[in-house]
Amino acid sequence: MSQAEVDLVTRAYEAVNRGDVEGLVALTDPEVVWEEGGVVFPDLPPAYHGHEGVRRWFQDALVEAWESFNAEPLEIRDEGDGRVVQEVRIRGRGRASGVEVDMRMAQTATIRNGLIVRRSIAPTE
């Protein structure tokens, strides 16, 4: 397991959970493809591109959507070839609806040259 790649993914979760969009952006490649996939928010674009895309995703998917939000990595596995797969527990309260969410999903981060170049998600439940 590449500890550096696992650490990078862990730092990305830490940035998201503390609301630090620039901290997240700093961990991504300027040409990153940040896939939303319609799992949590079917109305969001299927993918965001580049640093501005990550900033837009952060605003759309986190700031505007959640009153409270936490992403807890349950398992992080290095799959080789720069791919790090994570099982994640997402908990939060919807900003507009007030609905409590507690779900699991799988995320894959593809890493090149010490930066995230692609992120994709899929439901696990």
- Note the pLDDT tens digit of each residue in 96-120: 999 999 999 999 999 999 999 999 9
Domains of the chain with bracketed CATH: 3-123 (3.10.450.50)
- Note the pLDDT tens digit of each residue in 37-57: 676 677 889 999 999 999 999
* φ, ψ at 19 (rounded to 5°): 75, 30
Written as six digits, the tokens of 43 are 């109305």
State residue 38's pLDDT score.
72
- Note the pLDDT tens digit of each residue in 5-25: 999 999 999 999 999 999 999
- Which residues does 114 contact at the CB level (< 8 Å), separation at least 6? 4, 8
- Which residues does 109 contact at the CB level (< 8 Å), separation at least 6? 5, 8, 9, 12, 83, 84, 86, 116, 118, 119
Q: Whole-model pTM?
A: 0.91
